[in-house]
Amino acid sequence: MTEPLLHLHRPAVASDEGLPLANGLMGALVWGDGAPLNISLDRTDLWDLREVLEFSATDYRFADVAEKHRAGDHDALIESLERPYYRPGPTKIPAGRIEITLPGARFCSASLDIDDPLATVDLGVGTVAVRVAATAFVGMISIAAPEAQLSLRAPAFGGRPDGWKAPAGFDASHADVWDLGYPPPDIHADDDGEAFLQQGYGGFAFAVALGWRKHSLETTAVWSIATSEETDDPLALARLRVTDAFETGSAGIAEEHRRWWSEYWSRAQVSLPDPAIERQYRLDMYKFGAAARRGAPPISLQGPWTVDNGRLPPWKGDYHHDLNTQMTYWPALTANQIDADAGFLDWLWDTRDACRAWTRQFFEVDGLNVPMSADLRNRQIGGWRQYTHSLGSSAWLAHHFDQHWRFTRDHEFLAQRAYPYLAEVCTFIDQISRTRDEAGWRSVLLSSSPEIHGNTPAAWFDRLTNYDLTLFRHTLQSAADMADELGLGDEAQHWRRVWGELPPLSVDDETGLDIAPGEPLAESHRHFSHLLAIYPLGDIDPWRTQREANIARQSLALLDQLGTSMWMGYSFAWLACLKARCRDGDGALAALRAFADGFVLPNSFHANGDFANKGYSTAVFRAFTLEGNCAAAQAVHEMLLQSHNGIVRLFPALPTAWHDVGFSGLRAEGDLTITAAVADDRLRNVTIVSGINQLVRVALRGSDVPITIILEAGTPLSLDPETLLGLEGH
At residue 629, the 3 state secondary structure works out as helix
Whether the upstream peptide bond of residue 36 has omega within 30° of 0, thus cis, is yes
pTM, 2 dp: 0.97
At residue 124, the 3 state secondary structure works out as coil
CA-nearest of 392, 366, 393 to 378 is: 393
Q: Are 605 and 663 in contact (CB under 8 A)?
A: no
CA-nearest of 392, 541, 539, 422 to 482 is: 422
The single-letter code of the amino acid at 119 is A
Give the β-pairing of 512-513 and 507-508: antiparallel
CA-nearest of 5, 48, 42 to 24 is: 42
Query: Is the backbone of residue 667 left (phi > 0), alpha (psi -120 to 50) or beta?
Result: beta
CA separation for the pair 81, 380 (Å, rounded): 10
Q: Are 291 and 304 in contact (CB under 8 A)?
A: yes
Confidence at residue 1, expressed as pLDDT on a 0 to 100 scale: 47
The reply to whether 650-727 shares the fold of 6-48+92-266 is no
The gap from C-alpha 175 to its chain's centroid, in whole angstroms, comes to 24
Other beta carbons less than 10 A from residue 202's beta carbon: 10
**293: DSSP letter:** -
Q: Give the residue-averaged pLDDT of 569-598.
A: 98
Q: Give the residue-averaged pLDDT of 299-314.
A: 97
Rounded to 10 degrees, what is the CA torsion of 625, 627, 629, 631?
A: -160
CATH fit for domain 6-48+92-266, picks 3.40.50.1110, 2.70.98.50, 1.20.1050.10, 3.90.550.10: 2.70.98.50
Q: Give the residue-averaged pLDDT of 610-627.
A: 96
Confidence at residue 721, expressed as pLDDT on a 0 to 100 scale: 66
**600: DSSP letter:** B
CA separation for the pair 235, 66 (Å, rounded): 49
Other beta carbons less than 10 A from residue 716's beta carbon: 12
Report whether pLDDT(728) > 60.
Answer: no
Q: What are phi and psi of 663, to 5 degrees?
A: -155, 160
Q: CA Rg, the chain, in Å?
A: 26
Per-chain mean pLDDT for the chain: 96
Condensed to tens digits (0 to 9), the pLDDT of residues 79-96 reads 999 999 999 999 999 999
Confidence at residue 165, expressed as pLDDT on a 0 to 100 scale: 82
The single-letter code of the amino acid at 413 is F
Q: Are 296 and 290 in contact (CB under 8 A)?
A: no
Q: Which residues of 283-297 are buried (b: 16+ CB within 10 A; e: fewer)?
A: bbbbbbbbbbbbebb
Q: Are 261 and 134 in contact (CB under 8 A)?
A: yes
- Side-chain-side CA neighbours of residue 212 (13 Å): 23
Q: Are 464 and 449 in contact (CB under 8 A)?
A: no
CA separation for the pair 57, 68 (Å, rounded): 15
Query: Is the backbone of residue 544 left (phi > 0), alpha (psi -120 to 50) or beta?
Result: alpha
Condensed to tens digits (0 to 9), the pLDDT of residues 347-376 reads 999 999 999 999 999 999 999 999 999 999
Q: Give the residue-averaged pLDDT of 167-186.
A: 91
Report whether pLDDT(236) > 80.
Answer: yes
More confident residue, 164 or 265: 265
Helix (H) or strand (E) holding 110: strand 109-113
Report whether pLDDT(729) > 60.
Answer: no
Q: Are 333 and 667 in contact (CB under 8 A)?
A: yes
CA of 449: how far to CAs of 462, 551, 579, 678, in Å? 12, 19, 21, 40
Confidence at residue 433, expressed as pLDDT on a 0 to 100 scale: 98
At a CB cut-off of 8 Å and minimum separation 6, what does 483 contact? 419, 423, 489, 491, 492, 495
Q: What are phi and psi of 657, to 5 degrees?
A: -85, -5
CA-nearest of 473, 463, 461 to 438 is: 463
Question: What residue spans define the domains of the chain?
Answer: 6-48+92-266, 650-727
Confidence at residue 702, expressed as pLDDT on a 0 to 100 scale: 75
Report whether pLDDT(431) > 70.
Answer: yes
Q: How confident is the model at residue 725 (pLDDT cuts 50, 70, 90)?
A: low
Confidence at residue 2, expressed as pLDDT on a 0 to 100 scale: 64
CA of 340: how far to CAs of 35, 243, 264, 404, 468, in Å? 37, 30, 10, 11, 28
More confident residue, 596 or 684: 596
CA separation for the pair 632, 639 (Å, rounded): 11
CATH class of 650-727: mainly beta
Q: Which residues of 106-143 are buried (b: 16+ CB within 10 A; e: fewer)?
A: ebebbbbbbeebbbbbbbebbbbbbbbbbebbbbbbbb
Question: Which strands sit side by side in the sheet containing 118-122, from one edge to the other?
Answer: 6-8, 109-113, 118-122, 127-132, 139-144, 218-227, 205-214, 193-199, 186-190
Confidence at residue 171, expressed as pLDDT on a 0 to 100 scale: 84
Please enumerate, as own/partner, the contacts of 701-708 that have beta carbons within 8 Å and a separation of 24 or more: 701/650, 701/651, 701/652, 701/654, 701/728, 702/728, 702/729, 703/727, 703/728, 703/729, 703/730, 704/543, 705/730, 706/647, 706/648
Q: How confident is the model at residue 235 (pLDDT cuts 50, 70, 90)?
A: very high
**435: DSSP letter:** E
Q: How confident is the model at residue 324 (pLDDT cuts 50, 70, 90)?
A: very high
